[in-house]
Amino acid sequence: MVTIKKIEINGFFGKGDFEWNLDPVVNILGGKNGSGKSSIFKMCYAMLNDRNMFASMEKDLRNIFKEVTLTLSNNWTLHWPYDSGAVRLDFDGVKPMAYMDSVSVEDEKGEKRELDELQKLVRVYLINSFEQHLDEAIKYWQQPHSMSLNNPTMLDLMIEDQKNKRNANFSTVMENLIDSSAEDDKKRKEFGDIYKKTYTILEKFLREYDKPFKSSLEFSKGGEKFSFVHLSMGEKQILLLLLMVGNVNQEPCIFFMDEPDLSMHIDWKEELVTRLHELNPNMQIILSTHAPSVITGWHDKVKEVDQLIKR
C-alpha cells in the first residue's frame, strides 16, 4: 500500500516553509479559517492526479506556493514546479510568467517516471461537497440519472452519482461471477460483505430511520417512505462519505477529506474517523477539521498548520 509520507511546501503563503510528516493510517489537520488547509489538499490531489498542472490548478494556488514536494511511502517523490522551460501568459494576458506544465515524478533511485506509472500504484480521492466548481456541478447535472431528481442540491447530485456507481459495481460483480468457481464465490462474498458493511455503519448514524437498505436509497420513518433528497444536510453528508469510501471496495487508497464533519452532530463527529477507517482499513485518511470532537481517539494524529511552518 502506497501512502503519502511527507508533504513539503516552500514559500507557504509567504509565511515560511511547511513540512508535514504523515501517518500511514490517519492524519488530522487543524487551523484557523484561511490558514491554508483546503489549498494544501487541493494542491496534493492535483499533483497526484493531473497531467497538466497549468490547466488544472487554480490561479491562487499557483501564486501562494513556490514549490511543493510529496514523498511517498515507497520513496518515490513528486515535485512541482517542474522546470520544463514552459512559458505562459499570466491571466491578464500581458505579463509573461514561467509556469510549469507538469509534475516531475522520480522513483527511489532518482530516475524519472511517468505520472501514469504512479497512478497504477495509488488511487487518490478528494471530498469537499460544500465547495464545488460550477463546471463540476454541470457535469453531475448532465448525467441522465440526475434528471429524475426534483430541484436537487449539489449534495443530492453527488449522492445520486455515488449511488449509481455502487449499484453498477454490484451488478457487474454479481453478473461476472454467476458461473463461479470456489475462488469467485469467495470474491463475491467479500464484495457483498463490504456492501453490507456500508449499510451497517450507516444504520449506526441514522438510528431514527427504519433499515435504509434499498438500492434506490429510500428511507422510512414512522411508516412513511421517502427519498434521500429529503434527509438533512448532515445526514446527506454522512451518506455521501460512506458511499464514496464504500465504493472503493477496501482497495488501498489515499482519501483527502476537507472538513467532512460540517453540519454533523457532535456525537457523529466523535465516531466519524473510526467508522470510516472501519469501512476501509486500507485507506490513508488525510482530514481537516475545526471540531475538537473529531479527534476523539486520534489525538496523536493531529497537527495544526502553524505547528508545521518553519519561519
- Residues 38 and 111 reside in one and the same domain: yes
Residue 164 lies in a domain: yes
Does some domain include residue 274? no
What residue numbers bound the domain in which 42 lies? 1-123+255-260+285-311
Band of the pLDDT at 102, cuts 50, 70, 90? confident
Cell numbers describing residue 297: 481517539
Does residue 37 sit in the same domain as residue 63? yes
- What is the model's pLDDT at position 106? 94
Q: Which comes out higher in pLDDT, residue 54 or 301?
A: 301
Nearest Cα residue to 40 out of 2, 74, 4, 73: 4
Instruction: Note the pLDDT of residue 133.
Output: 67
Q: Are residues 15 and 114 in the same domain?
A: yes
My answer on whether 2 and 115 are in the same domain is yes
The residue among 229, 250, 271 that closes a domain is: 250
Q: Across all residues in the chain, what is the average pLDDT?
A: 83
Q: Is 269 inside any structural domain?
A: no
Same domain for 181 and 201? yes
* Claim to verify: residue 163 and residue 70 sit in the same structural domain: no
Q: Does residue 265 form part of some domain?
A: no
CATH number reported for the structural domain that contains residue 96 in this entry: 3.40.50
- pLDDT value at residue 101: 55
How confident is the model at residue 210, as a pLDDT? 80
3-state SS assignment for residue 127: strand
Residues 9 and 40 both lie in one domain: yes
What local confidence, expressed as pLDDT, does residue 94 receive? Answer: 42
Residue 1 inside a domain? The answer is yes
Please tell me whether residues 33 and 101 are part of one structural domain: yes
pLDDT at res. 88? 47
State whether 5 and 61 are in the same domain.
Answer: yes
> Per-residue pLDDT for 83 more than 60?
no
Terminal-residue alpha carbon distance, the chain: 34
pLDDT of 11 over the 80 cut: yes
Report the number of distinct structural domains present in the chain.
2
Are 118 and 142 within one domain? no
Single residue among 223, 250, 277 that ends a domain in this structure: 250
pLDDT band at 265 (very low <50, low <70, confident <90, very high): confident
Q: What is the mean pLDDT of residues 222-230?
A: 86
Burial of 173 (0-12, 13-18, 19+ CB in 10 A): middle
Asked whether residue 19 is domain-assigned, the answer is yes
Is 64 inside a domain boundary?
yes
What mean pLDDT comes out for the span 72-95?
A: 66
**Residues shown for the chain:** 311
pLDDT at residue number 52 = 56
Beta strand 253-258 with 88-89 is unpaired
pLDDT at 242: 94
- Residue 278 domain flag: no
3/118 same-domain check = yes
Q: What is the pLDDT of residues 32-54, one digit of tens each?
A: 888 889 889 988 998 898 755 55
pLDDT attached to residue 182: 65
pLDDT higher than 80, residue 18:
yes
Indicate if 160 and 109 belong to the same structural domain. no
Residue 293, CA atoms < 13 Å, CB-side half-sphere: 12
pLDDT tens-digit readout, 128-160: 877 776 667 777 767 766 667 778 888 899 999
